[in-house]
Amino acid sequence: MSAEVLFYIIIAVFIIGFVFNKILEFLNASWFKKPVPEILNDIYDSEKYTKQQNYLFDNHRFGIFTSSFNFIVILGFLFLGGFAYVDKVVSEITNHYILSSLLFFGIIFLLSDIISTPFDIYDTFVIEEKYGFNKTTPKIYVFDKLKAWIITSIIGGGLLSLIIWIYNLDPVNFWLYAWGVIIFFNVFFLMFYSVLIVPLFNKQTPLEEGALKQAIIELGKKAGFNIDKIFIIDGSKRSTKANAYFTGFGPKKRIVLYDTLVNQMNTDEILAVISHEIGHYKHKDIYKSLFVSILETGVMLYVFGLLANSEILSQSLGVSEPKFHIALITFGILYSPFSTVLGIISSYFSRKAEFNADNFAANLGYSISLISALKKLSSNNLSNLTHHPVVVKFTYSHPPLYDRVLNLLNR
């Protein structure tokens, strides 16, 4: 196979991926105006339903414009030899095998961020503001952006440097050593994310003594799950949307409740949400997900290790000699169809895990409270209630609300 043929395969893969995603988006949008299932009729009154429909279509139209613009930019970048040009600029600055890759990806990251930031600003300060969700101030937005750049540079740059160093040290066994590094990083990040990263963006406060904390502790005892770290996070500084999650595992596990969730729900509804999350832990979903992710990463690194030094990967993007960073870009595009297929399979098992977690909450006696909590979340977030079944099967990590409510009513 020639480099030219591979280049057009890359273009074809990129175009097919874009068209595939657009088809799914249009399918979902075609169901926006479908009648709301009867068991969900109490979520929106006529006025709020009109608002919800407008929110869906505003996001849909903006998503089409944004993704189409990005598609055209990247396609033009590929045809005009943009990656080769950036590599040439980098080569004139340094030929060090690690520094050149870091500088290359730094420039690509900066260009990507410059292009995406105006769209992100519009989404945050126009669309989300229009529908009453946004609480982010310009100051918070700017500081979030700066902190994200710093974290990406330190963590992403450090991890990339280590992987490139390993590759140059032992190209044959590169995939195995790099796999070990990434496994360690993923486990470490999973355990310490709430301790090291979250505080840079949000304030986490231990839940104060009182009826809610005592009720959560009692729930833990009832479920056979030790709960000793419960935190409230100030999510309201950025959005009115509510959330709750478990993070970490072993001695580092903790419950994190958004202040918006605590303010919007009663105690039984909060307990229902937490019992659902406990269900994930009791079913070891976090370990299963981690195992699958690790396995996929290992396969991906093994295949990339076989191809990384291939001249054709770099030549397909206009670079004459094999370079790690160019090969990584090429491989990433070519691997995307396999990633999509794996994502479909992963989404299927994720939806099953959500049903199992709902059933766990129902078995603890929180079926009705969980239904109420899910409906409140949908109402407050102006969520879509009519999902196209094909899109659900292909992309949804969570079952649609209708399926979850029907499942809980039949428990």
Which of 371, 409, 153 lies closest to 268 in space, CA to CA?
371
**CA distance readout (Å), 183 to 150, 254, 279, 327, 346:** 23, 22, 25, 22, 19
The residue to which tokens 């395969």 are assigned: 9
Rounded distance, CA 262 to CA 78, Å? Answer: 48
Catalytic site residue from 269, 285, 358, 403: 358
How is residue 328 written in tokens?
């990584």
What contacts 288, CB < 8 A, 6 or more positions away? 349, 353
- Tell me the C-alpha distance between 281 and 269, whole Å: 19
HSE-up of residue 178 (Cα within 13 Å, Cβ side): 27
CB-CB contact of 316 with 7 (8 Å): yes
**Can you read off the two tokens belonging to residue 31?**
């169901």
Place of tokens 């005592």: 214
Nearest in space to 121 (alpha carbons), one of 140, 148, 149, 147:
140
| DSSP code string of 78-91 | HHTTHHHHHHHHHH
By the 8 A CB rule, do 159 and 181 touch?
A: yes
The one catalytic residue in 277, 285, 354, 403 is 277
CA within 13 Å, CB half, 14? 23
Q: Under a CB-based contact definition with an 8 Å cutoff, are residues 397 and 351 in contact?
A: yes
Active-site residue flag, 358: yes
- Burial grade of 307 (CB within 10 A; 0-12, 13-18, 19 or more): middle
Residue numbers annotated as active site: 277, 358
